[in-house]
Structures are given as C-alpha cells and as structure tokens.
Structure 1
C-alpha cells in the first residue's frame, strides 16, 4: 500500500483528503505544521472556506502566540487516521 493508503480508505470528502495530503507533506516528525489557510487555498486552488471545512474534518488547531503577546499563526496537528 502507498503512503496515503489510510486516507484513501477514510470516509471523508475529497476536499479533506486533498488538504490532508498537502498538510501531511509539510508536517514535522511530530505531525505538526502551520501554513496559513490562504496559502493552502492558493497552492491547492481551492476556496478559503473549502480549506476551513477540510481542516475541521482533519485537524486539531491551536492558536500560537508571539513573545510580545501578539497572535501568531495557528498550529495544526493532524488527527490520526
């Protein structure tokens, strides 16, 4: 079986599978990555809202903060499939 065989077998919308593969390709060894939603949408040629729906299907997300207390990017952790 291939690298993405588990995601192929999941009962998920195609948008979720596409975003999953994009994020999995960009994750570190802990399964974490933090690209902007706009970046994901642009690179996959999807609407921003489509990406947001896929993320809700696939990920846990956590707001990251700068040392000065300002907001930084979101930290996404892929759910285990």
Structure 2
C-alpha cells in the first residue's frame, strides 16, 4: 500500500492533505522536516492562515506532531514537524 492510503481515506479537508504531502516530500527518512509557515504558504500558493489551519487539522487527527524550535539567542525559529504514518482504517 502507498504511504498516503490512510490520508486519502480520511475525512481531512483538502488543505490538510496538500500540506501533509508537501511535508512528506521535504521530510528526511525519519519523517522530520522544518520548513517555515511562510515558505509552505508561498510554495503551495495558499495563505499563511490556511497553512496554520491545515497543520492544526493534521495534529488533531494524529498525522503530525509539531515542536517549536529556538535560536541560540532565545528567539523562535521554524517549527520541527514530525510526520506520523497511520495505518489504513
């Protein structure tokens, strides 16, 4: 089965599916990536708020875990995203 089988069968909105696929395309072998919200929005040609809603959708449904990253000076950096592959339901 493909890695997106569960995603296709889910009730997630289109925005969440597209963002998950984007993150999967940029993730390393462990499913981690850290693109900025603005980068995702620009490359997918969606608004920043749509990207944030999609990320919330994915977190709520168990497809994604996000962790805030910090710079050495204490400022915020981009989030680290951990993709979670779910079995088909």
Q: Could you tell which deviates more after superposition, 51-60 or 12-21? A: 51-60
- TM-score after normalising by structure 2: 0.79
Query: 2:66 matched to 1:61?
Result: yes
Task: State the 1:7 CA deviation.
Answer: 1.2
Q: What is the number of residues matched between the two proteins? A: 81
Which of 62, 70, 80 aligns to 1:75? It is 80
2: CA distance, partners of 1:28 / 1:13: 25
2: CA distance, partners of 1:10 / 1:36: 25
Task: State the 1:71 CA deviation.
Answer: 2.5
1:40 match: secondary structure: helix
Task: State the 1:74 CA deviation.
Answer: 1.0
**Greater fraction strand:** 1
1:31 is matched with: 31
1:46 match: secondary structure: coil
* Structure 1: gaps spanning 5 or more residues: none
For residues 47-73 of structure 1, what are the alpha-carbon distances to aligned partners after superposition, in whole Å with 9 as ceiling and x for unaligned? 110100100121221111233433222
- TM-score after normalising by structure 1: 0.85
Which structure is higher in RCO with an 8 Å CA cutoff and minimum separation 6? 2
